[in-house]
């Protein structure tokens, strides 16, 4: 293999500068020689640690964290949504992948939604025909049974979340803000909204909320496995609610659901670091295409090496923005359900194709001829990562899609139903066109980076179409020698993110054209001015708008001179959580 022109200083990565030399943060890196959990909610972190202390591995603890997040952060995720997983097996030194997304109802057709009067490009977020079969419950059970330690049962893993739901949890600051924004949605979406409210209101920071009906749903999965969700009482409640609002989901749609174990897709950068993503119908391909374009730019001499550019300078941001726009232009068309459509992943990641795309980039100005998608964003997802004392890692992500999803609560179940079906395109000739029994374009993506066959990073950045953008920006920061916390603290950009109202706007799907680039507070106005001069519609985002840039978690594996490994973790300051070690 030819030696890459891109030089990564691994000594700098192993010995990074103190965080205070670059970015102010309320946090420092967290280290551990045993397990580690990094998540957006402290109580969910503790749930994962509890399972690690009981002898569970990273996969077991990830599911415990995931279920607990349904209690502590239901505005972003839950058993009514979907999940994806990457698992690094330290024994075999391989990365395995799980697709826990659901299909549309078999009877949901383009003809049917047109007869209902829908004329836009996507199913509205509040229409219950946007509900695909929730995949999270099956994903949790299958993660434990296929990747878990074997020391604990599914019931054992669910114990912390059930306890939290029954005893109640104090609501955190940022999550309360999201809950308050969705109060009207929850009240109007179904007759059962009070199950997700506190005395008819969204809870304020510090107020304790109990979710007893969610605890009962969890108990049924803990006792009966997947059948506890996809058959029986819970399934009947889901179907009854959807059909009462003109939806066509049936019990058979739920009963047929299965998790898919898939081969992860990957791209090796600079002949040293391999980025792993889940394959389509997820959008992880976007990050890989962008990474390949960035490598081609440097290898062909179109730009100087990224590591020689000042971090977050206009020169640096311009190149990343243009590469990601090209990547979105491809994936907004090609990413679809591979069981239904051909998705040419190998061709899209070939050196020849990536080089041809790189040639479209002008290092001095934007290319107005490049048609790109419209990645609209809301922070409606939770990403977390867990590692264990044996060297395994689990990169896990789950989502309701737009905040609380549809906001509709099946009676007696304690969770809201997702609206992932809004990711379909209502155009017949599109690969991602609506069809019965099909999975839509999916935004949620976990990531892992491997050096050789050893784990380098288990990481991710949540938040709609921000996710592949975050994967690239955080990875490039780590390759620059930043600590996990510094890489997360660093101000970010988000292409065409906007600050949409998830309750009223449609999902802005593939084929839409938008050129806004939102730049996070912390990047100088002079830099934003230079980006505008280069042709970017660059806009500053401040305050709560910073949620636009996602909320990430990173766990890095370090080698100690003693021969032992050390986990180094960071947690995004844009969220309520933290990273915490097992003792």
What is the C-alpha to C-alpha distance for residues 68 and 63, in angstroms, rounded to an integer? 8
Q: Pick the catalytic residue: 381, 406, 483, 527? A: 381
Stated as kind and residue range, the H or E segment containing 581 is: strand 578-581
What is the C-alpha to C-alpha distance for residues 301 and 291, in angstroms, rounded to an integer? 16
Q: What are the start-end ranges of the H helices in 203-313?
A: 212-224, 227-230, 233-244, 251-255, 284-299
User: Is 381 marked active-site?
Assistant: yes
Q: Please state the separation of Cα 487 from the chain's center in Å.
A: 17
Q: Which of 251, 226, 37 lies closest to 139 in space, CA to CA?
A: 226
In terms of C-beta density within 10 A (0-12 exposed, 13-18 middle, 19 or more buried), how is residue 125 classed? buried
Stated as kind and residue range, the H or E segment containing 477 is: helix 466-479
Report the b/e string of 134-167 with b at 16+ CB within 10 A. bbbbbbbbbbbeebbbeebebebbbbbbbbbbbe
| Residue 147 exposure: Cα atoms within 13 Å on the Cβ side | 32
- What DSSP line would sit under 125-147, residue for residue? TTSGGG-PPP-HHHHHHHHHHHH
Radius of gyration of the chain (CA): 22
- Which tokens go with 182? 């969705």
Q: List Cβ neighbours of 111 (8 Å cut-off, separation of 6 or more).
A: none
- Which tokens go with 508? 């802005």
- As a three-state string, the secondary structure of 20-50 is HHCCCCCCCCEEECCCEEEECCHHHHHHHHH
Helix (H, G, I), strand (E, B) or coil at 385: strand
Q: Which of 87, 79, 82 lies closest to 99 in space, CA to CA?
A: 82
**Inter-residue contact 447 to 473 (CB < 8 Å):** no
**What are the CB-based long-range contacts (under 8 Å, 24+) for 267-270?**
267/291, 267/292, 267/349, 269/6, 269/294, 269/295, 270/4, 270/6, 270/7, 270/8, 270/295
Report the b/e string of 333-372 with b at 16+ CB within 10 A. bbbbbbebbebebeebbeeebbbebbebbeeeebeeeeeb
How far apart, in Å, are the Cα atoms of 459 and each of 198, 280, 448?
34, 19, 6
Residue count of the chain: 583
Catalytic residue numbers read 381
């Amino acid at each position: 293999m030819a030696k890459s022109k891109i030089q990564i200083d691994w000594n700098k990565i192993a010995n990074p500068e103190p965080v205070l030399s670059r970015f102010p943060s309320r946090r420092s890196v967290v280290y551990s020689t045993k397990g580690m959990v990094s998540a957006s909610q402290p109580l969910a972190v503790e749930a994962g640690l509890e399972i690690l202390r009981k002898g569970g591995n990273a996969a077991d603890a990830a599911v415990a964290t995931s279920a607990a997040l349904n209690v502590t952060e239901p505005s972003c995720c839950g058993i009514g949504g979907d999940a994806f997983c990457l698992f690094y097996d330290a024994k075999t030194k391989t990365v395995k992948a799980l697709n826990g997304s659901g299909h549309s109802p078999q009877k949901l057709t383009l003809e049917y939604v047109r007869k209902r009067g829908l004329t836009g490009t996507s199913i509205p977020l509040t229409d219950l025909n946007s509900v695909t079969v929730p995949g999270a419950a099956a994903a949790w059970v299958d993660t434990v049974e296929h990747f878990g330690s074997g020391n604990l049962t599914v019931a054992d893993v669910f114990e912390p979340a059930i306890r939290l739901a029954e005893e109640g949890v104090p609501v955190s600051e940022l999550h309360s803000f999201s809950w308050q924004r969705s109060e009207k949605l929850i009240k109007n979406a179904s007759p059962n909204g009070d199950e997700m409210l506190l005395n008819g209101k969204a809870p304020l920071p510090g107020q304790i909320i109990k979710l007893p009906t969610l605890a009962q749903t969890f108990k049924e999965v803990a006792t009966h496995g997947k059948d506890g969700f996809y058959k029986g009482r819970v399934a009947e409640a889901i179907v009854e609610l959807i059909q009462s609002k003109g939806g066509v989901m049936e019990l058979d749609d739920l009963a047929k659901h299965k998790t898919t174990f898939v081969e992860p897709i990957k791209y090796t950068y600079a002949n040293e670091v391999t980025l792993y993503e889940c394959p389509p119908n997820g959008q992880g391909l976007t990050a890989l295409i962008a990474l390949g374009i960035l490598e081609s730019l440097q290898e062909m001499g179109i730009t100087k090496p990224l590591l020689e550019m000042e971090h977050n300078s206009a020169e640096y941001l311009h190149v990343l923005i243009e590469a990601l726009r090209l990547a979105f232009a491809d994936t907004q068309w090609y990413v679809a359900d591979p069981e239904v459509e051909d998705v040419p992943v190998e061709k899209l990641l070939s050196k020849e194709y990536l080089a041809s795309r790189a040639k479209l980039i002008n290092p001095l100005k934007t290319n107005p001829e490049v048609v790109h998608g419209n990645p609209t964003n809301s922070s409606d997802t939770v990403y977390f990562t867990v590692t264990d004392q044996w060297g395994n890692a689990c990169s896990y992500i789950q989502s309701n899609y737009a905040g609380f999803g549809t906001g509709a609560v099946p009676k007696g179940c304690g969770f809201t139903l997702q609206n992932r079906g809004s990711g379909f395109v209502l155009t017949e000739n599109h690969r991602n066109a609506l069809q019965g029994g099909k999975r839509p374009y999916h935004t949620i993506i976990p990531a892992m980076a491997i050096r050789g066959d050893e784990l380098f990073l288990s990481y991710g950045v949540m938040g709609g179409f921000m996710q592949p953008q975050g994967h690239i920006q955080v990875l490039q920061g780590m390759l620059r020698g930043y600590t996990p916390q510094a890489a997360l603290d660093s101000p970010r950009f988000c292409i065409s993110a906007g600050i949409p109202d998830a309750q009223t706007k449609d999902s802005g799907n593939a084929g839409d054209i938008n050129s806004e680039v939102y730049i996070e507070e912390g990047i100088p106005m002079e830099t934003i001015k230079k980006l505008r001069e280069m042709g970017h519609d660059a806009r500053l985002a401040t305050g709560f708008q910073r949620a636009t840039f996602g909320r990430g978690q990173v766990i890095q594996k370090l080698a100690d001179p003693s021969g032992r490994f050390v986990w180094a973790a960071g947690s995004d300051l844009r969220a309520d959580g933290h990273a915490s070690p097992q003792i």
